[in-house]
Structure 1
Amino acid sequence: MNTTVLFAATVFIWGTSWLAIAWQIGEVPVLHSIFYRFALAAVLMFAVLISVGRLKLPGIWRFVVLQAFCLFSLNFVAFYQATSLIPSGLVSVIFSLASIFNAVNARVFYGEQITKRVALAAVLGVSGLILIFWQSLMLSYDASTLIGVGWAMLGTLFFSFGNMASRKNSSLGISPVTTNVWGMGIGAAFILTLIFLGGEPLQLPSAPSYYAALVYLAVFASVIGFSTYLLLVARIGAAQAGYATVLFPVVALSLSTVAEGFAWSFMAVIGVGLTLAGNYVMFSQPRPHSLKRLQEAG
């Protein structure tokens, strides 16, 4: 599949997935929703791969397991908790900082240089978040908003760790399809274990909108969205693939404004603009070898 198509599909699917997460909040406990999502996604992927004879064992499991914990369980525990406290569109804005997290973690785990552009992007991004949440945190001090921001930041950090694990799996010759199917299965099993350890029986939701959101999140956001995104990571690297996060909030905030009544203040407008600008700075001047990789991938 063409890299441009992969990019566009990832932006649209993940940009709309935040609202679907919001539709699941409150029906059943958060862990239950995450289990249903990835259990269904894993079953679908296993069925498809078995039917076409493409189901494979990874060979090396440790980074697949790490990816499962970071991309298909722990990060979504954090994101669902965040969405219960702040609008889904704002969670997507915080998630858009994944490109900066990826750059820092690539330095930590792979020794890649952190450039001045990364530092500037981080300053713009953090400044934007401060302005977005200025009224809630600085003027009236809404504790639930602060907790929601913390959960969203933690989810983004786990997501970035998952990107690093995915990159390692690709370097070991393990395809994104293989890591996805086993990762989702492992992630679902891990969440189910947490549910049982908590001593709480599984609860079934009743609202039709919950099931519609579940199908969308399992089929599109999980099976298709993660596959397109991790294919981008494998082709052009985590930092370049992270450019998709620049556009997620545009889609998510548009939906949040209509469906959740998100109110745009002047500070919020400036803050979102700064955050998006920070992400754009990350990719506005690609290094020569990055341009070559993009051209080859396309």
Structure 2
Amino acid sequence: MRSIALYTLTVLIWGSTWLAIEFQLGDIAVEVSLFYRFSLAAILMWIWVSVKKLPMNYSRRDHGFFVLLALCNFGLNYLVLYWAQNYLTSAMASIAFSMLLLMNIVNTRLFFGKPIAKRIYSGALIGVVGIVSLFWPQLQQFDLSNGALVGLLLALTGTFVASLGNMVSVRNSQQQIGVMQGNAWGMLYSAIGLLCYVFMADASLSFSAPASYWYSLVYLAVFGTVIAFACYFALLKNIGPERASYVIVLFPLVAVILSTLFEGFIWQANTFIGFSLVLVGNAIVLTPTKRIKAFIELHKASLANKRSIPS
């Protein structure tokens, strides 16, 4: 029951953060909003590790990887994804981000030599076809001035950067660096880096924004960053990374539902087809071949039993 609660909470929070990001756009510069978000998250993380008295002393080399973690997982990736949502609804951005699963598998092969199972090629192809279907109207009129296409390219770029950050996180875990400690340092360096970027971009540290902006900021920092990551890492420990990774498949469902309710997201034929293909592709990637075969055999047996029953 504890794992179910953690799983549900992670999916609901991460699925809703895409809509919360919409309230961060427009009034205050994106880089300033991210600086506020990760500054608050860093403060909360450091309070946590201090209360738990976790070891925080690491080598210079480790700190170099903490900086990379900050850049890829808590900085540049979010900056690009926030830019993407200037062109896309939260639903479309979340679906594009679900390609993280496939990028992680490829990058794990490249950086750590882990073999890629044959089913993953099929799942990846289906996922890519799904993305193409989602953005087919824009791809038919290929033009980089097309807002949706620009948003897609930005979303996929931000997703790829996040995948590189995941590889840094894997490296840190292999070096026996605690997840909470690594994230605390990463978020601290992220806040510092974003502040430097704010000054270079000559952006104003404005506090003039509606209440919805500040509510969403607190939600993103406290729930979307600190609590959701804590739940996800607890899941990794309790049920393993393979099953825990299904959150990447499920949170777009939440994002799409919320976008439909609050952003007027309109479902079209290509939307249904593309969304379904992305979900199916990711599910195939995450499901071991033996389990797929077992499901098929069970389905065949069920059909055989129904046919044998006299009407």
Task: Give 3-state SS (helix, strand or coil) of 2:23's partner.
Answer: helix
Amino acid in structure 2 at the alignment position of 1:131: S
How many angstroms apart in 1 are the aligned matches of 2:242 and 2:162?
A: 13
1:293 aligned partner: none
For structure 1, which segment, 252-261 or 167-176, has the greater mean C-alpha deviation from structure 2 after superposition? 167-176
2:23 aligned partner: 23
Picking from 123, 126, 144, the partner of 2:125 is 123
1:219 aligned partner: 222
1:108 aligns with 2:98: no
1:75-224 map, 5 Å: 75-139=77-141, 143-224=146-227
Picking from 57, 74, 92, the partner of 2:76 is 74
Distance change >3 Å, CA 287–CA 189, structure 1 → 2: farther
How many angstroms apart in 1 are the aligned matches of 2:45 and 2:101?
A: 28
Contact residue 49 and residue 181 of structure 2 kept, 8 A: no
How many angstroms apart in 1 are the aligned matches of 2:63 and 2:240?
A: 21
How many angstroms apart in 2 are the aligned matches of 1:176 and 1:125?
A: 30
Distance change >3 Å, CA 70–CA 286, structure 1 → 2: farther
1:45 aligned partner: 45
**What's the RMSD between the two structures over aligned residues?**
2.1
Amino acid in structure 2 at the alignment position of 1:72: F
CA shift for structure 1 position 136: 2.6
How many angstroms apart in 1 are the aligned matches of 2:224 and 2:21?
A: 10
CA shift for structure 1 position 243: 2.3
Q: Deviations over 1:73-109 (max 9, x none)?
A: 0110111001111001111101111110110000001
Distance change >3 Å, CA 14–CA 81, structure 1 → 2: same
Amino acid in structure 2 at the alignment position of 1:267: N
Contact residue 167 and residue 237 of structure 1 kept, 8 A: no
1:10 aligned partner: 10
How many angstroms apart in 1 are the aligned matches of 2:240 and 2:167?
A: 10
In the alignment, structure 1 segments of 5+ residues that lack a partner are: 289-298
Distance change >3 Å, CA 109–CA 237, structure 1 → 2: farther
How many angstroms apart in 1 are the aligned matches of 2:253 and 2:137?
A: 22
How many angstroms apart in 2 are the aligned matches of 1:11 and 1:179?
A: 23
Rg: which structure is higher?
2
Amino acid in structure 1 at the alignment position of 2:42: A
How many angstroms apart in 2 are the aligned matches of 1:113 and 1:75?
A: 26
Distance change >3 Å, CA 104–CA 3, structure 1 → 2: farther
1:264 aligns with 2:271: no
Q: Deviations over 1:232-291 (max 9, x none)?
A: 556777665432110011000000011111100011111100011110001222679xxx
Distance change >3 Å, CA 184–CA 115, structure 1 → 2: same
CA shift for structure 1 position 66: 1.3
How many angstroms apart in 1 are the aligned matches of 2:289 and 2:233?
A: 20
Contact residue 125 and residue 277 of structure 1 kept, 8 A: yes
Contact residue 84 and residue 93 of structure 2 kept, 8 A: yes
Q: Deviations over 1:180-238 (max 9, x none)?
A: 11111111111110111122331223210000100000001111122333455567776
Question: How many positions carry a matched residue from both structures?
Answer: 288
2:33 aligned partner: 33
CA shift for structure 1 position 2: 5.2
For structure 1, which segment, 53-62 or 92-101, has the greater mean C-alpha deviation from structure 2 after superposition? 53-62
Contact residue 40 and residue 218 of structure 1 kept, 8 A: yes
1:294 aligned partner: none
1:54 aligns with 2:76: no
Picking from 242, 245, 254, the partner of 2:245 is 242
Contact residue 118 and residue 282 of structure 1 kept, 8 A: yes
How many angstroms apart in 1 are the aligned matches of 2:166 and 2:290?
A: 21
Q: TM-score, normalised by structure 2?
A: 0.86
Distance change >3 Å, CA 232–CA 278, structure 1 → 2: same
Task: Give 3-state SS (helix, strand or coil) of 1:113's partner.
Answer: coil
Q: Deviations over 1:112-152 (max 9, x none)?
A: 11222111111111111111111133158561111100110
Distance change >3 Å, CA 183–CA 234, structure 1 → 2: farther
